[in-house]
Amino acid sequence: MCSISRKRLLIERDSALSIERQCELLDLSRSTYYYVPATESELNLQLMRLIDEQYLETPYYGVGMMLAFLRRLGHDVNVKRVRRLFRLMGLEALVPKPPTSLPAPGDHPEHRIYPYLLRGLEISRCDQVWSTDITYVPMPHGFMYLTAVIDWFSRFVLSWEISNSLESSFCCEVLRRALETYGTPEIFNTDQGSQYTSDAFTSILRKAGSEISMDGRGRAIDNVFVERLWRSYKYEYLYLCCPDNGTDLYNGTDKYMRVFNSDRPHSSLGGASPAGIYLNNANCS
């Protein structure tokens, strides 16, 4: 199967077929083809960059603490704006909150919440637990989102993709790619985001035969290995290279993920690489 980048090269803008139809024939989501960063005002982009950098250092900051942080920097912002930017960036403080926002019985029946299965579980082998998450990606003139699937034992990044929206379709696409390439994990863990509670996403896992696990609300630390990937990705690539457009971002991210998997030593793995552990121990093709 062609890679995502190769498929994009096959799209012809002057073709008799519409862009939508060409994407459909290539099994390529339009959000993947159109690398147009989502946009906000220059002030909001500046605030989002500051929030993103601070959140990496203090992931326990909620809206109130982040508001105080921004005001200390001299930004005259209110709680309404910070809360909106948190939602737009997909951020949530790690501190557990009262269950005031849990969906009432009967609400959104297509979004089932599954129990958390990893408490006290010893992670001892590849393909025992996979997980996924989404992170906000700041750019000079807008922002994108990055999602990835990772194996907990080896820290191996199984698949990833970039999108300019938080639609569940690009999360499903990355999940299918990981399953098709590396087989089926025993347990698949996510947070309770709407992309992951949707039937479109969970039905893929049910069909594959994986047990589904979901973090408690406000418990992003339960997905700690993906959070560490985001931190490394942003400090070691994104903030240093500052890609100017979607193509540069995709190519740079592709290079970084290859280095992260195969070349970068991981202290938590005794200096080994994720690929060195995963590809020698997993039941993958």
* Shared-domain flag, residues 175 and 251: yes
* Shared-domain flag, residues 28 and 65: no
Give the C-alpha separation, 253 to 60, whole Å: 27
- Give a yes or no: residue 229 inside a domain: yes
- The range of the structural domain enclosing residue 76 comes to 42-89
- For residue 154, the model assigns a pLDDT of 93
Tens digits of pLDDT across the chain (285 residues): 345 555 655 566 556 676 667 777 777 655 555 556 677 889 999 999 999 999 888 888 889 999 999 999 999 999 999 999 998 888 875 544 433 333 434 445 567 889 999 888 899 999 999 999 999 999 888 889 999 999 999 999 999 998 888 888 889 989 999 999 999 999 999 988 889 999 999 999 999 999 999 976 545 556 678 888 999 999 999 999 999 888 889 889 999 999 999 987 777 777 788 999 998 886 544
The single-letter DSSP state of residue 17 is S
* Shared-domain flag, residues 145 and 276: yes
* Shared-domain flag, residues 160 and 76: no
Give the CATH number of the domain where residue 187 resides: 3.30.420.10
- Give a yes or no: residue 97 inside a domain: no
| Cβ neighbourhood burial of 95 (10 Å; 0-12, 13-18, 19+) | middle
The single-letter DSSP state of residue 115 is P
Contacts of 231 (CB under 8 A, 6+ apart): 56
Longest Cα separation, the chain: 57
- For residue 244, the model assigns a pLDDT of 87
- Give a yes or no: residue 177 inside a domain: yes
* Shared-domain flag, residues 71 and 161: no
The total number of structural domains in the chain stands at 3
- Give a yes or no: residue 101 inside a domain: no
- Give a yes or no: residue 95 inside a domain: no
Q: What is the pLDDT of residues 61-114, one digit of tens each?
A: 889 999 999 999 999 999 999 999 998 888 875 544 433 333 434 445 567 889
- For residue 263, the model assigns a pLDDT of 83
- Give a yes or no: residue 103 inside a domain: no
Return the amino acid letter for 263: D
* Shared-domain flag, residues 149 and 230: yes
Angle, to 10 degrees, between the axis of helix 63-72 and the axis of helix 42-57? 110
- Give a yes or no: residue 111 inside a domain: no
* Shared-domain flag, residues 166 and 231: yes
- For residue 104, the model assigns a pLDDT of 37
Q: What stretch of H or E contains 261?
A: helix 246-262
Contacts of 227 (CB under 8 A, 6+ apart): 59, 133, 220, 221
- Give a yes or no: residue 123 inside a domain: no
Q: Provide the whole-model pTM.
A: 0.76
* Shared-domain flag, residues 242 and 192: yes
What end-to-end distance do the CA atoms of the chain give, in Å?
A: 15
* Shared-domain flag, residues 29 and 53: no
Residues 16, 19, 21: CA angle, nearest 5 degrees: 80
Q: What is the pLDDT of residues 147-161, one digit of tens each?
A: 999 999 999 999 999
* Shared-domain flag, residues 63 and 26: no
The single-letter DSSP state of residue 236 is I
- For residue 4, the model assigns a pLDDT of 54
* Shared-domain flag, residues 53 and 24: no
* Shared-domain flag, residues 179 and 247: yes
User: What phi, psi does 64 have (nearest 5°)?
Assistant: -65, -45
Give the C-alpha separation, 235 to 232, whole Å: 5
